[in-house]
A = this chain, B = another copy of it.
Amino acid sequence: MADERAFTASLARFFAAPAGVRVPIGDDAAEVPNRGRESVLCCDPVVERVHFARGADLALVGRKAVNRNLADLAAMGARPDWLLVSLVLPRAMAAAARTRLLRGIRAAARAGRCAVVGGDVATHRGPLVVTVTAVGHLRGRALLRSAARAGDSIHLTGPVGNSRAGHHLSFRPPLAEGEWLARHGGAAAAIDVSDGLLLDLWTVLAASGGLGAELHEDAIPRRPGVGAGRRALLRALAEGEDHVLLFTVRSGRRLRRGGPLRALARRPIGRVVSRPGLWLVDSRGKRTRLLARGWQHALAGA
């Protein structure tokens, strides 16, 4: 099996960005020049039996399809404006089921203060695939995966783990937090935690020039149901679909007061170090090396 991250990295080389594109393939979303104000674009599918189980509430599926994209915009610090929705529907899908899906899409668009302005519908003898494109804009500088430096403290906007119990369908994209961190708050790097905290943190460290990180075992906020103990924590760090922001703050710089952050987001969970690798540090200061495990789509090799 090939590695999804390696494939995505190869896409960035394959589709060379034209001059003027500040952020091409490789971050949470693309950033392109737009008449003096940067546009931010992203596009993510949700697929039956990959991103949701057959029989899932279709209102929640629609919501997830939108919110996955809004979480990507949030991780850039962007504000969403427009959505496009491409529906590939199983031929036998009933009208009531279609309506439920659309209601979920519409509710999530309203909550994100953006509008569905277009899309397409096709049917087939296969699984439901809902692909949403989100277009937004920046009112400051983007939060990039590549902006971490050794010495930065590491933060999360919310707890992680146990997403499969329902959070993966019902999460709220951290739009207010992302925009505030980019404009006022003082964040350096950021990423949407979608593939698991370890893998997404690793992505930030690699994009920032091959850095490492120490995480403080007791400082990492756990979602209800994760359970106590290190094994439960490690599962939570690799599970994915948390859709909180992982962000870093420069050493010596403080997050600004006020704003939409929860109190837990102000307490560092660890720090960036210059030596590549990931370490978990327990309450007695004992360090354990971790592997960057998480969710990756399996790809066939050559």
Query: Interface of A with B (CB < 8 Å)?
Result: 2, 4, 7-8, 11, 14-15, 17-18, 21, 24-25, 29-30, 32, 34-37, 39, 41-45, 47, 49-51, 81-82, 84-86, 88-89, 91-96, 98, 102, 106, 109, 115-127, 129, 131, 133, 135, 297-302
**With a CB–CB cut-off of 8 A, which chain B residues contact A117?**
15, 17, 21, 24-25, 30, 32, 41
Given A4-B121, A11-B102, the answer on whether A299 and B35 have CB atoms closer than 8 Å is no
Q: Which residues of B contact A81 (CB under 8 A)?
A: 32
A297 touches B123 (CB 8 A): yes
Task: Give A276 Cβ to nearest chain B Cβ, in Å.
Answer: 25
CB distance from A34 to the nearest CB of B (A): 7
In the bound complex, do residue B300 and residue A121 qualify as a contact, i.e. CB atoms below 8 Å apart? no
Q: How far is the CB of A118 from chain B (nearest CB, A)?
A: 4
**A44-B120, A299-B89 known; A125+B35 contact, CB < 8 A:** no
Smallest CB gap from A114: residue in B? B18
Q: How far is the CB of A9 from chain B (nearest CB, A)?
A: 11
Q: Which residues of B contact A119 (CB under 8 A)?
A: 11, 25, 43
Contact B127 A126 (CB under 8 A): yes
Could you say which of B7, B84, B95, B131 contacts A41, with CB atoms under 8 Å apart? B84
Contact between B120 and A82, CB atoms less than 8 A apart: no
A109 contact set on B, CB distance < 8 A: 15
Can you list the 3 inter-chain pairs with the closest CB atoms, starting with the nearest? A30-B118, A43-B84, A30-B117
How far, in whole Å, are A150 and B96 apart by their CA atoms in the complex? 39
| The one of B32, B47, B129 that contacts A82, using a Cβ cutoff of 8 Å | B32
Residues of B within 8 A of A133 (CB): 41, 43, 84, 133
Assess A17 versus B84: contact at CB under 8 Å? Given A43-B120, A121-B4. Answer: no
Could you tell me the distance between the alpha carbons of A141 and B94 in the complex, rounded to whole angstroms? 39
CA distance A175 to B82 in the complex (A): 24
**Alpha-carbon separation in the docked complex, A297 to B122 (Å):** 6
In the assembled complex, the Cα of A85 lies from the Cα of B299 at a distance in Å of: 17
CA distance A109 to B43 in the complex (A): 17
In the complex, which residues of chain B have a beta carbon less than 8 angstroms from the beta carbon of A95? 2, 299-302
Q: How many whole Å from A76's CB to the nearest CB in chain B?
A: 11
Are the C-beta atoms of A7 and B121 separated by less than 8 Å? yes
